[in-house]
Amino acid sequence: MSRIVVQMHGEPGSGKSTIARAIAPRIGAVVLDKDVIKAALLRAGIVEERAAPGAYEVYFAQADDLVRLGHSVILDNPVFWPRVEQRWHALCERAGSPRLLIECVCPDQAELSRRLATRLALESQPREPLDLARHPGAAATLFQPRLVLDTTRPLDDVVADALAYIRSHAAAPLPPTDYRRPATASP
């Protein structure tokens, strides 16, 4: 069975989760959202300094298990830390998947701020734009090639671009799908 690992990337509010959830059923993948795990750890009383690394441990253990069971996965988390990028690469190797990176960007800062302020956020999700300087050891990934998606574009167009990228780089053919879907709200 062909397994695909897609790594989403981008700052909070850029549309990673929206795009991940839109493409997952079209490529037969499971979305793993690191924020769901981290929020649960925070609700359980684990402090931020331990919840963040703990969430990544659970996240990648779950991803490993899903891949071992033959599933394709979409990793819904940013790649701002070298260790996260290394673990994504190792997961791709175990899955026999090409390294597929989709970066979501929202170049309109007013729109990004609106998204962050109005989204139904989990306890682990920020309400303000990302400032990498406040996160020791964080830096934007230099990984290439990647697909960069401007998520201020219509959602159907962005999803179609993501699916075309995945299909063109997949090691084996994925099930055919209609790239378009009924219009919905933007990410």
Confidence of residue 127 (pLDDT cuts 50, 70, 90): low
- Is residue 180 in a domain? no
Residue 107: per-residue pLDDT: 96
- Is residue 178 in a domain? no
- Is residue 133 in a domain? yes
Q: Give me the CATH number covering residue 89.
A: 3.40.50.300
Contact assessment for residue 115 and residue 187, using Cβ atoms and an 8 Å cutoff: yes
| Residue (of 49, 6, 1, 16) closest to 119 by Cα position | 16
Confidence of residue 153 (pLDDT cuts 50, 70, 90): very high
How many domains are contained in the chain?
Answer: 1
Rg from Cα positions in the chain: 16
For the residues 41-46, what does the mean pLDDT come to? Answer: 92
Q: Are strands 5-9 and 147-150 parallel, antiparallel or unpaired?
A: unpaired
pTM here is: 0.86
Residue 7: per-residue pLDDT: 97
* Residue 72: count of CB within 10 angstroms of its CB: 22
- Is residue 68 in a domain? yes
- Is residue 185 in a domain? no
- Is residue 97 in a domain? yes
For the residues 34-58, what does the mean pLDDT come to? Answer: 91
Q: Is the pLDDT of residue 121 over 80?
A: no
> Domain span at residue 145?
5-169
Beta bridge partners of 100: 6
Beta bridge partners of 7: 75, 101
- Is residue 175 in a domain? no
